[in-house]
Amino acid sequence: MIINHPLLGPRDSSEFVYMGDASLIERPDPEAETAASDFVEYAYLRDNPASWLRELWFHEGGDRSWLVVTRNTVTHEISQVEMARDVARSKGRSK
């Protein structure tokens, strides 16, 4: 499997480490009234679709950037690769 790194171009997936569902970027507000249930959902509950999934990959054997990879879990086709920091900043995270 080849991951097309947004900065470095196509790189072998053996250089990367899978770090889970990209929804981990969206950490709930700990001050919210529903924080307890929000964090249970955030920490433990994942969708497991047999189709497109947005995932976090860490370029451990490369430039150590975190990526958001949109991958089809059935075919392993990758449709989009973004820098995780760009995704996080576009959601107002990482201020």
Partner 1 sequence: MHDLIAITALGGLEPRVDTVAGTILSENPGLALASVHARMGHEDACRAHLADLLDGQVPEVGRTVLRDPEAAFWTGPDQWMVGAPFDTHEDLAAELKARFGDTASVSEQTDAWACFDLRGPGMAAVIELLCPINIRQMQTGDAQRTSIHHLGCFVLRRDPSDWVRILGPRASATSLHHAVLSAMRSAL
Exactly one of 25, 52, 81, 85 binds partner 1 (CB under 8 A); which one?
85
- Interaction between residue 29 and partner 1 (CB under 8 A): no
H/E element, 18: strand 17-21
Min. distance of Cβ 83 from partner 1 in angstroms? 7
Cα pseudo-dihedral 53, 54, 59, 65, rounded to 10? 180
Total binding residues toward partner 1, as defined by CB under 8 A? 15
Identify the DSSP state of 26.
S
Residue 28 CA to residue 91 CA, distance in Å, equals 12
Q: Would you say 14 or 51 has its CB closer to partner 1?
A: 14
Measured in whole angstroms, how far is the alpha carbon of residue 78 from the centre of its chain? 13
Structure tokens at 26: 């969206």
Shortest Å distance, C-beta 78 to partner 1: 18
- The residues in 58-77 that bind partner 1, with binding defined as CB under 8 A, are 60-65
Asked if 7 touches partner 1 (CB under 8 A), the answer is yes
> Which residues of the chain form contacts with partner 1 (CB under 8 A)?
7-8, 11-12, 14-15, 60-65, 83, 85, 94
